[in-house]
Amino acid sequence: MITEIAPAEDERVAPEPALPRKRRRAWDEVPRWQIYVPLSIYLLFTLIPFYWILLFALRPAGSTSLVPWPMTFEHFQKVWTERSFGTYFTNSVYVGLATLVLTTVVALAGGYALARFDFRIKRGFMLALLCSQFVPGALLLVPLFQIFAKLSMINSLASVVIAETVFQLPLSMILISGFIRNVPYSLEEAAWVDGCNRMTAFRIVVLPLLRPGLIAVGSFAFVHAWNHFLFALMFLSDQSKQTIPVGLNTLMSADSVDLGALAAGGIIAAVPVVIVFAFIQKWLITGFSAGAVKG
Amino acid sequence: MAQAAAVAEPPAPPRRRRASATPRRLPYLLIAPAALLMLGFIAYPVLSVFYYSLQNYNPTKPWRNGFAGFGNFTQIFAHDPQFWDTLTFSAKWVVVEVGLQLLLGLALALIVNQTFVGRALGRALVFSPWAVSGVLTSAIWVLLYNSQTGITRYLADAGLGSYGTSWLSDTSTVFPAAVVADLWRGVPFFAILILADLQSVSKDLYEAAEVDGASRIKQFWHITLPHLKDAIVLSTLLRAVWEFNNVDLLYTLTGGGPAGETTTLPLYIANTSVDAHNFGYASALTTVAFVILLFCSIVYLRLSKFGGESK
């Protein structure tokens, strides 16, 4: 049985490897060294800093070895417990996920309206979205602080979530409305004809097609909220409420900088976003080309 | 807003069949959460900054508080050399950063757009610093530039560079050192945006050019670059505004020092309001920065024709 199938498969597959070579166009025929040499140089520039921080995090304090061996996890232990990075980590996860959910839901609703309806204030609203890109978050710290103080939200993670969400919304909404425009309206109309109401049609027809775009937008919001520093620094006075970037800053501005702790803290800060990024990288590229550049 | 909706006869012709269950208010309901959040937490703060810019307002010196007219602005333009210094540095920072990010990002995008073995891994690796925060970028480069344990020491030991200089505390090295640190994180983001647009260049164009015997450089010049023009204009301007506004990196990397050498205008504003509690003056500075940025945004809207005949 098996021997019978194998040659058949071979016959089917055999001509294929020849095709790409034949079809190769000159624009795709860049000499290999012109790819690998500059890429390797750039890769060095990218990776040396990562290696450096790994080195400091893993080698014992006082060591000058360029290889993290013997390896130690004392810095991680110290940073996680003594420097409260465990708490910071939990807070950052909360801020990141809450911002992700809030941004995605609000931007999805708004993006749908922008993509599917013509309404009176639409142009003005789009303009406002764009102009808000030029409002520097750092410059609004004081009035934002006053607002949150009036709402008695100072020192609550919710204030940071709201601030992060607000600054993520414009871009997210523009991206999402771009994605929705790429879904043919006729698909929705067909679902209405079949008896769905708008909501059900959206859920059954549009939402599944939006999944890659939503993942890109959501992760983008998560990464931003995870990384951003000033809002947390200003709105959260209690150390138990702080987030990882603030923790890192504390380590850096200490009188005598504990480089091992700083490196370990940095790795704790980097791991979640680098993992998120590794997953979304492909969607991000298609996401930007569909949502932003064309939009 | 609901009222406005009721009064306004939608000028749009009924070009789409409306689902029977769809109320006319639906689009307004859908944008309401976003609109309210932005009104409350962007528009209102912006207006209050304008208001405070005309006030003397310093909670630590309440006896001087009150209406100041354009006093703050006169002070800024006529008597505040620090404003001009920080503005000049901001301009220098943005031009150098965005210029280098554009060139390197374009080159990087062109390279990883090729097909080659290990492309997926290569892309993931060179793009990964994008995910890293400004503070973490600072932390990493503080480790690298540290005079005792940084890469500078190993370079010095190898006979390159002078021993014991910390690049971030020396006025002659701090600018390039900070630029390189920010490039590390900024180039990948630029490259991702450009790569996204590169994907949509029609391959037929290159094939046609190939038949006509155009060289690769000519193809880049006459096909790739014109196609990328809009994306480049858009990402350059967005990036310029973001670089202008970004406080995280320099705040933590150099703290604006040494000797105010790396203080951008937003950093100066943050220091004025948060450390010196001079909210009125900081608000006036903010207003000036906002006008500068608004000017950029108008240029941006003109160039990209956004919101015009889109759709």
Nearest residue in B to A220, CA atom: B131
Q: Given A119, A289, A295, which is nearest B10 (Cβ)?
A: A119
Nearest residue in B to A143, CA atom: B45
DSSP calls for B79-101: H-HHHHHHHHHHHHHHHHHHHHH
Nearest residue in A to B191, CA atom: A285
Q: Which residues numbered 83-112 in B keep a CB inside 8 Å of some CB on A?
A: 104, 107-108, 111-112
B chain contacts of residue A201, beta-carbon cutoff 8 Å:
19
Confidence of residue B22 (pLDDT cuts 50, 70, 90): low
Beta carbons within 8 Å of B269's beta carbon, 6+ residues apart: A138, A139, B282, B285, B286, B289
Residue B199: closest CA among A205, A217, A14, A294? A294
pLDDT at A287: 67
A chain contacts of residue B33, beta-carbon cutoff 8 Å:
106, 109-110
Residue A24: closest CA among B117, B114, B195? B114
Tell me, yes or no, if A207 comes closer than 8 A to chain B by beta carbon.
no
Complex prediction ipTM: 0.80
Q: Report the C-alpha gap between A107 and B37 in whole angstroms.
A: 11
DSSP state of B39: I
Burial degree of A70 (CB within 10 A; 0-12, 13-18, 19+): exposed
Cα→Cα distances B205→A30, B117, B195, Å: 17, 25, 18
Backbone angles phi, psi at B55, to 5 degrees: -115, 150
**A274-B115-A223 Cα angle (round to 5):** 15
Helix (H) / strand (E) element for B67: namely strand B66-67
Are B83 and B268 in contact, with CB atoms under 8 Å apart?
A: yes
Tell me, yes or no, if A165 comes closer than 8 A to chain B by beta carbon.
yes
Q: Report the C-alpha gap between B267 and B82 in whole angstroms.
A: 12
Beta carbons within 8 Å of B32's beta carbon, 6+ residues apart: B1
More confident residue, A289 or A180: A180
Confidence of residue B8 (pLDDT cuts 50, 70, 90): very low
Q: Given B1, B27, B143, which is nearest A56 (Cβ)?
A: B143
User: Using one digit for the tens of pLDDT, what is the confidence trace for A275-294?
Assistant: 888 777 777 777 666 654 44
Q: Report the C-alpha gap between A244 and A265 in whole angstroms.
A: 8
Are B258 and B169 in contact, with CB atoms under 8 Å apart?
A: yes
Whether residue B124 and residue A50 make contact (CB cut-off 8 A), yes or no, is: no
pLDDT at A188: 84
Nearest residue in A to B238, CA atom: A133
User: Using one digit for the tens of pLDDT, what is the confidence trace for B131-147?
Assistant: 888 888 988 888 888 77
Tell me, yes or no, if B35 comes closer than 8 A to chain A by beta carbon.
yes
Whether residue B139 and residue A262 make contact (CB cut-off 8 A), yes or no, is: yes
Tell me, yes or no, if B45 comes closer than 8 A to chain A by beta carbon.
yes
User: Using one digit for the tens of pLDDT, what is the confidence trace for A246-285?
Assistant: 998 888 877 777 888 888 999 999 888 888 887 777 777 7
Are B273 and B282 in contact, with CB atoms under 8 Å apart?
A: yes
User: Using one digit for the tens of pLDDT, what is the confidence trace for A106-127?
Assistant: 999 999 999 888 888 888 888 8
Tell me, yes or no, if B217 comes closer than 8 A to chain A by beta carbon.
no
Q: Report the C-alpha gap between B137 and A155 in whole angstroms.
A: 26
Backbone angles phi, psi at B56, to 5 degrees: -85, 120
Residue in the block written with tokens 């200089």:
B165
Q: What's the predicted TM-score (pTM) here?
A: 0.81
**B5-A165-A207 Cα angle (round to 5):** 70
Size of interface A-B (CB pairs under 8 A): 310
Are A221 and A104 in contact, with CB atoms under 8 Å apart?
A: yes
